[in-house]
Amino acid sequence: MRSFGGATLAIMSDLRDRIASIHLVTNTDGSTFSAYVAEPRGEVRGAVVVIHEIWGLVEHITGIADRFAAEGYLAIAPDLLSEIGIEANIGLELQEIMFNADPAVRSAGQPRLRDALAPLTTPEYSAWALASLRRTVDELVARPVVDGRIAVVGFCFGGSHSFALAAADARIRAAVPFYGSAPNEAAIAGIGCPILAFYGDGDSTLIDALPTLTAQMAAAGVNFTPTVFSGVGHAFFNDTNPVTYNAEVATVAWEQTLAFLRRTLG
C-alpha cells in the first residue's frame, strides 16, 4: 500500500492501470474529511484536485478521478459535503428528486433539497471548504513525484470552488471549472494560473454573467479561455444524469481538458 499522508481508511480498488484508495485528511482546525485518491501505476504527469458537484463524492466523481489516473495524473477528490450531512447516498437521492420526471415528486422534495443545501450558503462553510481544499493541495505538494504540477478540475459546486481555489492558492498551475460561478472581482485579481472554463449555452445564469466575467479576467491579466457549447445546459458532463448529459459535448470537453493539462503542467 502506498502512503499518501493522513490515514488510509480502505483500499477501494486495485485496477489494471491505477490504484485507488480512501484517505482521511486532518485540517488545521482539527476537523477531518475523506478524500478519494487514484494513483497511476506508471509515470506521474502531475496531479489533479477533482471537486464534486453538490451531490457529493458519488461514483461519477470517483470515476472521473480514475479517468485522470488512467491518463497518468495523481487524482484526489476530497469529500466536502459529508461535513454537512450529504454523503454519497444522500446526494444521489437529492439528485433524483431534482431531476425526477414527475413534477409532483420534484415539488414534494423541495423542502428536503432546501434544508440539505442551505449550509452551503453560509460563510462558515465556505471558509471550511476552501481550507479543506488547500489542505488537499498540501497533500499533493508533499508528494515529490508531483513536483508542484497541480491542477484543479471541478463541476457545478466544484466548478465554483475551482475558481475559488485558483484565486486563493498560488500553487495551482491550471484550473478547469465546468459550469461554475467565479468569485468576486477582488478575488479574481489573485488568480495566477490559466483557466479553461466550460459552459452550456442553455445555462442562462452563467451565460448572462460571462461577458462581465471575461472583462474582469482580462482586467486582472488572467489567461482565461471560456468555451461555450451549443445545445446543452448545466451538468452536461454528468453521465449519470440522463436529463442533462450530452455524450458528444462531454467527449469534446474531456479531450480539451487533457490537452490543456498537457500544456499547462508540462
Residue 17 has what pLDDT?
A: 72
Does the global pTM surpass 0.85?
yes
Burial (CB count within 10 angstroms: exposed 0-12, middle 13-18, buried 19+), residue 245: middle
How high is the mean pLDDT of the chain?
93
Residues 6+ apart with CB under 8 A from 146: 44, 46, 47, 74, 140
Q: How many CB atoms lie within 10 A of CB 153?
A: 27
CATH numbers and ranges of domains, the chain: 7-265 (3.40.50.1820)
The grid cell for 213 is 466575467
Residue 1 has what pLDDT?
A: 36
Q: How many CB atoms lie within 10 A of CB 116?
A: 20
Residues 6+ apart with CB under 8 A from 216: 182, 185, 188
Number of alpha carbons in the 13 Å side-chain half-sphere of residue 46: 19
Is residue 2 scored above 50 in pLDDT? no
**Three-state SS at 72:** coil
The grid cell for 43 is 509515470
User: pLDDT tens for residues 160-178?
Assistant: 999 999 999 999 999 999 9
Pairing relation of β-strands 224-229 and 195-200? Answer: parallel
The grid cell for 233 is 445546459
Distance from C-alpha of 177 to C-alpha of 166, rounded to nearest angstrom: 10
User: pLDDT tens for residues 12-57?
Assistant: 455 567 788 999 999 988 999 999 999 998 899 999 999 999 999 9
Segment 235-259 shows an average pLDDT of 97
Residue 117 has what pLDDT?
A: 95
Beta bridge partners of 227: 198
